[in-house]
Structure 1
Amino acid sequence: MDFTARFLDWLAGLPAGWLYLAAAAVLATEVGLLAGLVMPAASTMLTVGFLAYAGRLDLTTALVVLTAAALVGDHVGYLEGRLVGPRLRRGWLGRRVGDRRWDRAEALVAARGGRAVLLGRWVAFVRTLVPRVAAVAGVPYRRFALFNAAGVLVWVPGTVLAGYLAGASYSRLTGLAGVAGAVLAGGAGLAGVAMWWRRRRARAAASRGGPCAGPVRPRRSPLRSRSWRGRPARNRRPHPAGRARHREPADR
């Protein structure tokens, strides 16, 4: 079991109040801290939505708490980029992030400007780096706040509601599992029995040397499989009619 699965199991076992706080901490630290690259924010929001459908959490409270936490984390990341600047990438933790991820975030900000904050919200790892890169690139705070709010207000509720709808679909599927499972299991069982019986008859027929189940195409002899057309031209005997047809006329 990997880190994400163990974390989600631990999260689902918490009381409601602590679960809100733990989920909010995940969303805030994913962008607020550079080390938050490893935080499973999307999986956490899906789990929260699923638990809200199950009645463990209040859906409205979860949406408000997680949206606020994501906004706080993004602004902390932007502030860190303003204060530290390019030294973030040259630091020990920045080097651990990898040049490829930094280059991807910088290219997105260079090409899109403030809109990169909105677009980067949907890409893992990039949403952690884009607020810092935008601050270093000189994107104005108001522009950053506008696009960031637009992205968060779509990303967080959309992901939580996806988990909520997944819980609803899961409950419907489990309700139909009895009938559907019986039908599928019965069909699979019949198909397995039919295949076993056909193979058993084929093995029995082969052992007796008699006919087996199903039509069998006769094997052609290797001596008869060669057509007369494959013989050399000198061995062919022309047909008498053909010989007469190609005979040259006699001289008159």
Structure 2
Amino acid sequence: MKSDLSTIIINESALKMMELPSPIGEIVYRTSPAYNDKPSYTILGIVKDMIKGSPFDPAVPTILIPTEEDQKHLYIRIHPAVSASQALPKIENVLKKIAPAAPFDYAFVDDQYNQKFKEEERIGKLVALFTFIAIVISSLGLFGLAAFVAENEPKRLGVRRVNGARMSEILVMLNGNFLKWVILSCLLACPIAWYAMHKWLENFAYKTEMSWWVFAAAGGIAMAIALITVSWQSWRAATRNPVESLRYE
């Protein structure tokens, strides 16, 4: 409608800049050439700040001014209970009745929005892949080290068994020797990881806050992986017949 060309929509940042207590219905006058010949516009509504360009840039005050060119495009919101595959044929049929010669070209806002974070998603997948490889290599190293310790200390373990040490005590001793190094590694790695994540998040205009429980959970997972890796070798060493261990020595 022609009357729609006299209305505008502003975002929250523009509302803060204008400092209008009741913006709906207020008239805004332009001081420079705009997209049409209208000297003034009526504020029709307020929208939330959106990411228009790069996600690394903060939102800027924005005024959405309709033009006759915009009438060639439609923004349609599909009801959440209706799938896109069901809605698209119906939308196409309606548009063909209105403008039979116009091509039915469409794009999803979600896809365009996700495209802005494509590089970050690629980096995230690479980090996840190399993290998995690092965990596998570390687990193999721990497993080999646990096997080496278990095979080279049969006499000490045998003496403890003969002197009445319980199997649980031997397991705690063997696993504790590895866990203390894992805990030390976590204490050294957490500040470095926090600093690296903090610097990376500074690149984004909209970012989440880092919580302490993330690092606590990472440390817990690291200790669990270490326990699972070395427990088999520790169990074998703890259940070995102490007489055979002492005779071997």
Same fold (TM over 0.5): no
- TM-score using structure 2 length: 0.27
Q: Which has the higher helix share?
A: 1
- TM-score using structure 1 length: 0.27
Q: Which has the higher strand share?
A: 2
